[in-house]
Chain A
Amino acid sequence: MHITDILVTGEPIIYAAMVSIALVTVAIVFLLTYFKKWGWLWREWLTTVDHKKIGIMYILSALAMLFRGGMDAMMMRVQLAFPNLGFLDSQHYNEIFTTHGTIMIIFMAMPFLIGLMNIIVPLQIGARDFAFPYLNALSFWSFFFGAMLFNISFVIGGSPDAGWTSYTPLSGAAMSPGPGQNFYLMGLQLSGIGTLATGINLMVTILKMRAPGMKLFHMPIFTWSTLVTCFIIVFAFPILTVALALLTIDRIFGSQFFTLTGEGLPMMWANLFWMWGHPEVYIVILPAFGIFSEVIATFAKKRLFGYNAMVWSMIIIALLSFLVWVHHFFTMGAGAFVNSVFSVSTMLIAVPTGVKIFNWLATLYKSKIEFTVPMLWSLSFIPSFILGGVTGVMLGMAAADYQFHNSYFLVAHFHYVLIAGTVFACFAGLVFWYPKMFGHKMNERIGKWAFWLFFAGFHVCFFPQYFLGLDGMPRRLFITNIAEWLPLNIISTVGAFGMGLGFAVFVYNIYYSYRYSERETTGDSWNGNGRTLEWATTTPVPFYNFATVPYVDEIDPYVRMKEEGKTTFDETKLKPIHMPSYTGQPIIMMSFLGLASFGLIFEWIPVAIAGLIGGVVMMIVRSFDYDDGYYVSVEEIKRIERKARGL
């Protein structure tokens, strides 16, 4: 394959992207060299196994991916509002909605939430790090290289263009030749391994490393949501691993799983994909529920209403999530009986979800609501999510779904639940825990601007799409060719730009707050309203998290600790703390596996084998690595804590 066959050519947007990628890369390399930061970058970040730093890297990557996915969305909206512009052709539009969907779900929503889990869950349960810090770094780098691999498809080789669901036979070797679809398969496979590892890692962390006395039903609700999510990850992700592997083998090695030849069965892909895909949407929504619960309880200054019901409803949602996958293709003709069963199971999910909504409302009852930025994101979630939820039930009614399916009604529905649920939660969580991560809060005034712009833009963008769907506009249509559809599409595009502006203001706020925000002096950043253990640590959080781990036997332990004047620094109980060493192995191992994936994408088998051998060698290196970490001395802990606490 010649180099000119690899680079995507012929479109001004792509040349612009190439130039900007090149410029940004040169700028980063220049800045790092000029300020002599290469060593710092390697020592402090690329080799870190600290859950807080890994979490920050997850969130920064997720924000970058949100930008990329958002740009895709803007281009789609421009194309649909101006059908006479000839802005994008069909092929290009198909690539863009495919990358938009894949990036937003796999490389934005999940890493964002996993980033928050990384930083907060150990702090909430009183742990010093993850159960397997090395594995955690490995997970991050597998996500990172997976995401990079997927993103370079834009300029090298060509983007996938079969939708984020990648239905066969369209995505098979016959109908989608070339590397585009391989980028999808390998990018998801590589990052999927990391997600599975994170699921196991967090599960063991939560089950084995809780503070003394903390029973499962004492855990903060965000930690509970993480635990439930990890169960879903462990049982759903292997299905995706298999589905992706089978399609990869189909495409590269000529097997006949999903082909039209050799008696293959293309419909099996839809089944396998959604057996993972439906649990996946709960993987991104349950942690969001957890974040909202934490934020609402904190700024209502009140205990969460119905804690047990909240936990059990999450568990029931998780179980039901494995029993509804057929509702994504009621129209496949499985028959009235099968559709009835899955229709009822789908609607049943509304019951535990409804319970949660009412519990949040009841938490607000007899409370003292303070409208901070994280609270605004969380409160606005309730009415917005209800609109997505009720239309979800309507979609679950299979007979009616025959009309909604594949239409903009569906598009509006899942954006209503994913944005009002997951994206609002990511923003709420980031702003809420921002002081724990960076030692200063985000500016409230600018934060409110970002919120209102994004919130209003969101409703203006997606509410009209329900009506477009009812008027028969199918999803994934590259041009608005029916006059009646145009006005609502224009409104929708206006809203999308509102959201874009809101995001821009949000990012500006990060810069502004870095420059001008007051530095935190206490660990309990939100006017002393913290309820759970993460607020008991100092800000910035010392690398070992807790000098002494408190005894916990209730739901909001920090409330009692404050009443009794206790802290996480009890000089009489100090002991040396064991910490894991930083290591460069994870990033090296994953870059080899990234190389192997790259080789497979272009079907350059020698490159793939070379990468694989590199990866295996790194695993052997790891197996012989008996580095047991190091101990932080009591004197060192005293020095750090006294300085942080101003003693």
Chain B
Amino acid sequence: MKNKHLRSRWLGLLPFSLILFLSGCGNLEMTVLNPKGPVAQSQYDLIMYSLWFMLGIIVVVFGLFAFMLIKYRANRPGRKESDYEPNLHGNTMIEIVWTVIPLIIVILLSIPTVTTLFDLEKAPEPADGQEPKEPLVIHATAADWKWFFSYPEQDIETVNYLHIPTDRPIEFMLTSADSMSALWIPALGGQKYNMAGMMTKLYLQADEEGVYDGRNSNFNGEGFAAQTFKVHAESEEDFNSWVEEIQNEAPELTQEQYNELVKPGLTDEASFSSTHLDFVNHATTDGADYVVERYRELYGEKIELYDIDREETFE
């Protein structure tokens, strides 16, 4: 009797986990599983491809596991003598089978992983029948705890928000003014690190217009949670008129002003009609210690952050 009780408890877990799983999957709003650009799409495809293998493995192992537990529990009614072989200790054939099958799965997973990896090093291919466009270069510089986006071609710079045109590859030049951070816009694709004294390159692209969440995803201290930004993906025309507006209306960024902005701490959004690349590039060896040399003593101060800006939907 006791065992029957036990089994029903084990089985009771199955629907429970299914509910959780479906409540998660059914909600297709999950950002990573709802890609808005070709980079995120290729990663989504890879995740879904692997997920089928994983589900297969889970089904096989859970199935075998349930079978063993039910069939070979010690006091199952109607156990036969032949159900017990205490000296069974191996079977070369079956051991080879269950070594080779995982190996095949690993190979099947490796091929698309490697091809996707190499694809992600290049600007995304244009959709069928479209002309390839020159990528838009944006220098994304992280600093404790804010983002500077410099558009060298347009000669404008924004702080803590980003505008990009849709259907055009964006070539992010990532670096950091101090601690290591990572630029992550989950709707558009995976992240890469920003590191002082060096530059990493990340290609992303938006196919749909909209406002997406971007953030630093690599923990870097007290203001980490607040180091977020909005990505405004808009049509080429809208983007161009926004650029023009900034060029005409925003002030120029002076070095004094930049030095003030780059101090460790939180800042609001801002726009400028010139970039900080004119006087310092943190991706170079000379730029790496720019902030640390100036504000070393400020890192010890606490900002006592209890709350950060929340989504409007948050109640």
Question: Do any CB atoms of chain A lie under 8 A from CB atoms of chain B in the complex?
Answer: yes
Shortest B261–chain A CB gap in Å is 18
A396-412 with Cβ < 8 A to chain B: 397-403, 405-407
Shortest B68–chain A CB gap in Å is 4
| A-B contacts at CB below 8 angstroms, number | 324
Q: Mark A436-475, 1 if CB is under 8 A from B, else 0.
A: 0000000000000000100010010001101101111011
Question: CA separation between A630 and B311, bound complex, in Å?
Answer: 73
Q: Is the CB of A348 within 8 A of B292?
A: no
Q: Is the CB of A470 within 8 A of B33?
A: yes
Tell whether B127 is near chain A: CB-to-CB under 8 Å.
no
Known contacts A351-B106, A406-B191, A302 near B86 by CB under 8 Å: yes
Known contacts A266-B195, A331-B192, A354-B98, A394 near B224 by CB under 8 Å: no
Question: Could you say which of A332, A397, A463 contacts B200, with CB atoms under 8 Å apart?
Answer: A332
Q: Is the CB of A479 within 8 A of B121?
A: no
Tell whether A610 is near chain B: CB-to-CB under 8 Å.
no
Tell whether B74 is near chain A: CB-to-CB under 8 Å.
yes
Tell whether A329 is near chain B: CB-to-CB under 8 Å.
yes
Write the chain B residue with the least CB distance to A348.
B106
Question: CA separation between A347 and B94, bound complex, in Å?
Answer: 22
Known contacts A333-B193, A369-B69, A466-B24, A399 near B43 by CB under 8 Å: yes
Tell whether A542 is near chain B: CB-to-CB under 8 Å.
no
Q: Is the CB of B225 within 8 A of A174?
A: no
Q: Mark A254-277, 1 if CB is under 8 A from B, else 0.
A: 000001110100110000000000
Shortest A538–chain B CB gap in Å is 25
Q: Is the CB of B305 within 8 A of A89?
A: yes
Known contacts A89-B306, A335-B121, A471-B31, A459 near B102 by CB under 8 Å: no
Q: Give the segment of B130-138, B247-255, B267-275, B296-304 that binds chain A.
A: B296-304
Question: CA separation between A67 and B182, bound complex, in Å?
Answer: 33
Q: Give the segment of A162-170, A581-589, A596-604, A613-621 that binds chain B.
A: A162-170
B215-258 with Cβ < 8 A to chain A: 215, 217-225
Write the chain A residue with the least CB distance to B40.
A403
Shortest B266–chain A CB gap in Å is 11
Q: Is the CB of A347 within 8 A of B225?
A: no
Report chain B residues within 8 Å CB of A574.
none
Tell whether A501 is near chain B: CB-to-CB under 8 Å.
no
Q: Is the CB of A406 within 8 A of B218?
A: yes
Q: Is the CB of B225 within 8 A of A90?
A: yes
Which of B40, B43, B47, B102 is most buried by chain A, counting CB atoms within 10 A of its CB? Answer: B102
Q: Is the CB of B314 within 8 A of A399?
A: no
Question: CA separation between A186 and B102, bound complex, in Å?
Answer: 42
Known contacts A383-B61, A394-B54, A472-B213, A463 near B109 by CB under 8 Å: no
Q: Mark B140-180, 1 if CB is under 8 A from A, else 0.
A: 00001000000000000000000000000000001000111
Q: State the interface size on chain A (CB cutoff 8 A).
A: 105
Tell whether B280 is near chain A: CB-to-CB under 8 Å.
no
Question: CA separation between A170 and B74, bound complex, in Å?
Answer: 56
Report chain B residues within 8 Å CB of A486.
314
Cross-chain pairs A/B with CB under 8 angstroms, 8 sampled: A175-B221, A260-B288, A260-B289, A303-B87, A365-B68, A401-B190, A472-B184, A474-B217
List 5 other contacts, CB 8 Å, given A177-B299, A335-B121, A481-B311.
A86-B306, A364-B72, A400-B116, A479-B308, A481-B225
A interface residues (Cβ-Cβ under 8 A, vs B): 83, 86, 89-91, 94, 161-163, 167, 169-170, 174-178, 259-261, 263, 266-267, 300-309, 329, 331-333, 335-336, 339-340, 343-344, 347-348, 350-351, 354-355, 357-359, 361-362, 364-371, 379, 382-383, 386-387, 390-391, 393-394, 397-403, 405-407, 452, 456, 459, 463-464, 466-467, 469-472, 474-479, 481-484, 486, 488, 491
